[in-house]
Amino acid sequence: MAQSTLSVILLIFNCFLFIESVPTPLETPVRYDGAQLWNVDLSDEQTRQMVFDLENEFDVSFWSTSHAEADMFLKKSAIESVRQILNKNNIEYSVRVDDMQKRIEEESSQLYGEESLYGNNNKSLTWDAYYSFDDILLFLDKLVEKYPNLCSLETIGYSHENRPLKVLKISNGNSGNKAIWIDGGIHAREWISPASVTYIVNDLVENWNNQPAYIQNVNWYVLPVHNPDGYEYTRKSDRMWRKNRSKNNNNHCLGVDLNRNYGYKWGGKGTSSNPCSEIYAGSGPFSEPESTAVKNFVETSEENFDAFLTFHSYGQWILYPWGYENHIPTEDRDDLDSAGRQAAKSMKAVDKQVYTVGNSADLLYAAAGGSDDWGKSVGIKYSYTIELRDKGRYGFVLPPKYILATAKEAHAFVFTFAQIIAAN
Ligand code: 0X9
Ligand code: ZN
């Protein structure tokens, strides 16, 4: 009797051992069947409060909000209850995407996987599909190989999961050049950002000899994917992931919002100290390797950067500091505003799309710890967050057919800026 009890105990114990030693299976991708994207009217303060409170009770999140409207992403389970509440309170809304899973599947049928660069024999990116992080690295390597006198790559650090943070420097080596920083992909799900940044880089380099002096006399520093772990996670596991993939001291929720982790006014408005929040600011300013790498690089660089341009999506906004608090203008607000407007004009010339220019806390919401505010705080005059397409028709899951036109808008933005800086 005692022996059989013992063997049962041993058996159970062995089972645990076995479970422990089984490698964790590859995560199955998160599905968004029946999830919808709604655009909700925020006509007054009371409505605004009521709408934002929905997040506490239902499975909804807010993607792109301005003072006038909010894009609300609803899991299927939340739809009926939220619909009833909005109807009862006469709050107007329209459905923009009626099944997010379908959108994701359409998009992923046009993804380029790990082998694509060579698989489809292009040996370059094509801006008609979204590429893996490895493909983007390969693309950068190829540029350096092809133009060694113009381009160089520096690994400025490693992500939490050990992916390299590679900055491409493009420079003719002249002394007295201006210096411009560009980054993309700080938010994982904003795929149009790295896609557009690689387009800009490609045009700069491939057409270098025909570029105007205001482009050639700049030292360009470009980090196409600021958050590679998050980016790969959105490709393989959860298309809607925003943060990096930090372990957060073994809390059950992963990830820090890198655009709340920069050190200027860290932990202020529009941030969260809850690791499960989408806007978790991290355990302290620059607690993350990805943000620290950029900080160290910019701070130790010999350059006095003239511009700090960070590409996001979506909403078609050109935003300048301060973002940490409402109604606090920078002392050179008029310069930032008029340069932004010039850039918006050149973007509109591409494909008639309107980009709205303004202070980010006023146009959207106050949010501290952003990279743009940090860039401004260390003395970089032209510091902007550019929210690329669209205006909420597809949100983050922007169909690949819009990549090229959007990338050309980002390109127009950068070229206008280089021109403005050259004249200063
Ligand atoms: O909230 C953000 O981080 C940015 N919008 S996004 O939808 N791409 O997440 C806006 C950041 C604006 N800048 C600051 N608040 N500093
Ligand atoms: Zn973003």
Whether omega before 314 lies within 30 degrees of 0, making that bond cis, reads yes
Measure Cα distances from 408 to 196, 197, 198, 421 in Å: 8, 10, 11, 20
Which architecture does CATH list for 114-423?
3-Layer(aba) Sandwich (3.40)
Distance CA 271, CA 211 (A): 41
* Ligand 1 atom nearest to 371, measured from its CA: 16
Confidence at residue 109, expressed as pLDDT on a 0 to 100 scale: 78
Distance CA 198, CA 185 (A): 11
Cite the active site residues: 387
Q: Around Cβ 400, how many Cβ atoms within 10 Å?
A: 20
* Ligand 1 atom nearest to 312, measured from its CA: 8
Testing ligand 1's pocket by substitution, the residue of 385, 387, 391, 396 carrying the most ligand atoms inside 8 A of its CB is 385
Testing ligand 1's pocket by substitution, the residue of 63, 259, 310 carrying the most ligand atoms inside 8 A of its CB is 259
Q: Is 241 exposed, middle or buried (0-12, 13-18, 19+ CB in 10 A)?
A: buried
Which residue's entry shows tokens 């379908």? 102
| Protein residue with least CA distance to atom 1, ligand 1 | 367
Domain spans, the chain: 36-108, 114-423
Same fold, 36-108 and 114-423: no
Give the environment of ion ligand 2: residues with CB less than 5 A. Answer: 187, 190, 312
DSSP symbol at 376: H
Tokens of 134: 């490895």
How many Å lie between the centroid of ligand 2 and the Cα of residue 406?
16
Confidence at residue 66, expressed as pLDDT on a 0 to 100 scale: 85
DSSP H or E run through 417: helix 403-423
Distance CA 321, CA 329 (A): 7
Distance CA 108, CA 30 (A): 14
How many Å lie between the centroid of ligand 1 and the Cα of residue 323?
8
- Kindly report the pTM of this predicted structure: 0.92
**Which ligand number lies closest to the CA of residue 376?**
1
Q: What is the pLDDT of residues 106-146, one digit of tens each?
A: 988 777 665 555 445 556 788 998 999 999 999 999 999 99
* Ligand 1 atom nearest to 387, measured from its CA: 8
- Residue 64, ligand 1, Cβ within 6 A: yes
The CATH number, out of the four listed (1.10.580.10, 3.30.70.340, 2.60.40.420, 3.40.50.300), of the domain defined by the range 36-108: 3.30.70.340
How many Å lie between the centroid of ligand 2 and the Cα of residue 316?
12
Confidence at residue 200, expressed as pLDDT on a 0 to 100 scale: 98
Q: Around Cβ 254, how many Cβ atoms within 10 Å?
A: 20
pLDDT tens, position by position, for the chain (424 residues)?
A: 445 554 544 444 444 433 333 334 456 899 999 999 999 999 889 999 999 999 999 999 999 888 889 999 999 999 999 999 999 999 999 999 999 999 999 988 777 665 555 445 556 788 998 999 999 999 999 999 999 999 999 999 999 999 999 999 999 999 999 999 999 999 999 999 999 999 999 999 999 999 999 999 999 999 999 999 999 999 999 999 999 999 999 999 999 999 999 999 999 999 999 999 999 999 999 999 999 999 999 999 999 999 999 999 999 999 999 999 999 999 999 999 999 999 999 999 999 999 999 999 999 999 999 999 999 999 999 999 999 999 999 999 999 999 999 999 999 999 999 999 999 8
Testing ligand 1's pocket by substitution, the residue of 62, 364, 377 carrying the most ligand atoms inside 8 A of its CB is 364
Confidence at residue 21, expressed as pLDDT on a 0 to 100 scale: 36
Confidence at residue 113, expressed as pLDDT on a 0 to 100 scale: 62
How many Å lie between the centroid of ligand 1 and the Cα of residue 370?
7
Nearest C-alpha neighbor of 371 from the set 270, 228, 259, 242: 259
Confidence at residue 25, expressed as pLDDT on a 0 to 100 scale: 43
How many Å lie between the centroid of ligand 1 and the Cα of residue 229?
19
Confidence at residue 20, expressed as pLDDT on a 0 to 100 scale: 36
